[in-house]
A and B are shown apart, each in its own frame.
Chain A
Amino acid sequence: MSFDVAFILSTLPAFLKAVGVTLQVGLIAIATSLLLALVNAAILVYRTPYLQRLVKLYVELARNTPLLIQLFFVYFALPTLGLKISGFAAAIITMTFLGGAYLTEVLRAGVEAVPAAQLESGRSIGLSEGQLLRHVILPQAGILSLPSLFANFIFLLKETTVVSAVAVPEILYTTKSYIALYYKTYEMLAVLTLICVLLFLPLSLLLSRLERRLQHGQFGS
Chain B
Amino acid sequence: MASSGLELLLVSLPQLGKGAAQTLAISGLGIVFSTVGGVLYGVLASLNLRSLNLLLRVYLELFRAIPVLVWLYLLFFGLPIFFALSIPSFWCAVLVLSLWGASEVGEVVRGALRSLPRGQREAGLSIGLGAWQLYGYVLLPQALKRMTPPTINIYTRIIKTSSLAVLIGVVDVIKVGQQIIERTYESVLIYGALFLFFFFICYPLSAASRALERRWTHA
Interface residues of A (CB under 8 A from B): 1, 60-61, 63-70, 72-73, 76-78, 80-81, 158-159, 161-162, 164-165, 172, 175-176, 179, 185-186, 189, 192-193, 196-197, 200-201, 204-205
- In the bound complex, residues from chain B placing their C-beta under 8 Å from that of A63 are 206
A189-B74, A196-B66, A204-B64 known; A68-B191 Cβ under 8 A: no
Given A158-B67, A200-B64, 5 extra CB contacts under 8 A: A61-B199, A72-B191, A165-B167, A192-B73, A204-B65
- Expressed in whole angstroms, the minimum distance between the Cβ of B197 and any Cβ of chain A is 9
Closest Cβ neighbor of B166 among chain A residues: A68
Closest Cβ neighbor of B164 among chain A residues: A68
Q: Is the CB of B70 within 8 A of A196?
A: yes
Closest Cβ neighbor of A204 among chain B residues: B64
- Which residue in B67, B73, B181, B199 is a CB contact (below 8 Å) of A65? B199
Closest Cβ neighbor of B200 among chain A residues: A64
A80-B188, A172-B69 known; A68-B174 Cβ under 8 A: yes
Q: Compute the total of residue contacts between A and B using a CB distance below 8 Å.
A: 102
Which of B13-21, B30-38, B117-125, B155-163 makes up part of the contact surface? Answer: B155-163
Q: Is the CB of A66 within 8 A of B198?
A: yes
- Expressed in whole angstroms, the minimum distance between the Cβ of B157 and any Cβ of chain A is 10
Closest Cβ neighbor of A160 among chain B residues: B67
Q: Is the CB of A76 within 8 A of B191?
A: yes
A175 to B76, CA, bound (A): 14
A69-B174, A200-B64 known; A161-B160 Cβ under 8 A: no
A25 to B187, CA, bound (A): 25
- Expressed in whole angstroms, the minimum distance between the Cβ of B146 and any Cβ of chain A is 17
Closest Cβ neighbor of B74 among chain A residues: A189
A63-B206, A70-B195, A80-B188 known; A161-B81 Cβ under 8 A: no
- In the bound complex, residues from chain B placing their C-beta under 8 Å from that of A189 are 73-74, 77-78
A69-B163, A69-B174 known; A193-B66 Cβ under 8 A: yes
- In the bound complex, residues from chain A placing their C-beta under 8 Å from that of B59 are none
- Expressed in whole angstroms, the minimum distance between the Cβ of B1 and any Cβ of chain A is 12
A67 to B68, CA, bound (A): 13
- In the bound complex, residues from chain A placing their C-beta under 8 Å from that of B73 are 172, 175-176, 189, 192
A189 to B167, CA, bound (A): 16
Closest Cβ neighbor of A176 among chain B residues: B73
- In the bound complex, residues from chain B placing their C-beta under 8 Å from that of A77 are 187-188, 190-192
For window 68-110 of B, CB contacts with A under 8 Å fall at 69-70, 73-74, 77-78, 81-82
Q: Pick from A61, A68, A162, A179 the residue with the most CB of B within 10 Å.
A: A68
Closest Cβ neighbor of B189 among chain A residues: A77
Q: Is the CB of A80 within 8 A of B185?
A: yes
- In the bound complex, residues from chain B placing their C-beta under 8 Å from that of A81 are 188
- In the bound complex, residues from chain B placing their C-beta under 8 Å from that of A192 are 70, 73-74
- In the bound complex, residues from chain B placing their C-beta under 8 Å from that of A200 are 64-67
Q: Is the CB of B203 within 8 A of A60?
A: yes
- In the bound complex, residues from chain A placing their C-beta under 8 Å from that of B206 are 60, 63-64
- In the bound complex, residues from chain A placing their C-beta under 8 Å from that of B61 are 201, 204-205
A172-B73, A200-B64, A200-B65 known; A66-B161 Cβ under 8 A: yes
Closest Cβ neighbor of B60 among chain A residues: A204
* Cβ-based interface call for B134 (8 A): no
- In the bound complex, residues from chain A placing their C-beta under 8 Å from that of B139 are none
Flag B31-69 by CB within 8 Å of A: 1 or 0 each.
Answer: 000000000000000000000000000000100111101
A-B CB proximity, top 5 nearest: A64-B202, A66-B163, A77-B187, A201-B65, A66-B160
- Which residue in A60, A65, A76, A197 is a CB contact (below 8 Å) of B160? A65
